Amino acid sequence: MNSWIPSMGVAALLAVGLAAGALAQDVVEARQDSMSAIGDAMKPLRPMFSGEATYDPATVRASADIVAEHAGAPLIALFPEGSRNPDSAALPAIWENWAEFEALANKLGVVAKGLALAADNTEAAAPSGGASMGALMGAAPAPAPDAALTAEALGEKPAAEVFKMVGDTCGSCHSQFREKRS
């Protein structure tokens, strides 16, 4: 009664399987390309913020814009459920902690946009350590950092501080969701 399966069903299933495999391959390549673009954009900024290269706000803005373009929804869309293959360093934890993964992908967009807005803020380059002005003046306690995280608010901060937040966001996603390969 299932004699149709060997005749055409297997071929059809094979075709579907191959298509799914090809799709996974495409999406893995697409997100690795996207991550490489993010990495390439970040590369010139490190020496600028460490003082080894001349600081150029226009480059910071351009790089931050590239990172922001690849973050958030476009990044999330490149991680359909279970899209892994031997070339992929994506960990299954992504789909087990999807909300956290999405939050980090979105956070990358916010901090990168913030960096673009903060690019000219080089005066008070040292991150402020002590109590904030608001706290000193007896204002309401600051909300949890992530609740207050908007690109506009970050745009008021020193560029170096926002750059560090961008790097920390890369790191916290990679440490949870990307396989370490040597």
Among 110, 115, 117, 170, binds ligand HEC (CB under 6 A): 170
By beta-carbon proximity to ligand HEC, the closer residue of 12 and 103 is 103
Q: Which of residues 55-84 bind ligand HEC (CB under 6 A)?
A: 67
By beta-carbon proximity to ligand HEC, the closer residue of 97 and 122 is 97
Determine if 93 is a binding residue for ligand HEC (CB under 6 A): no
Determine if 119 is a binding residue for ligand HEC (CB under 6 A): no
User: How far, in Å, CA of 25 to CA of 40, rounded?
Assistant: 22
Residues present in the chain in total: 182
Whole-number minimum distance, CB 62 to ligand HEC, in Å?
14
Q: Which residues, at least 6 apart from 147, have a Cβ–Cβ distance to it below 8 Å?
A: none
Q: Residue 90 CB: number of other CB atoms within 10 A?
A: 22
User: How far, in Å, CA of 148 to CA of 153, rounded?
Assistant: 8
Tokens of 36: 């490489």
Q: Which stretch binds ligand HEC (CB under 6 A): 12-20, 25-33, 47-55, 151-159?
A: 25-33
Among 24, 66, 89, 149, binds ligand HEC (CB under 6 A): 89
Contact 121, 157 (CB under 8 A): yes
- By CB under 6 A, name the binding residues for ligand HEC: 28, 31-32, 35-36, 38-39, 42, 67, 88-90, 101, 104-105, 108, 166, 169-170, 173-174, 177-178
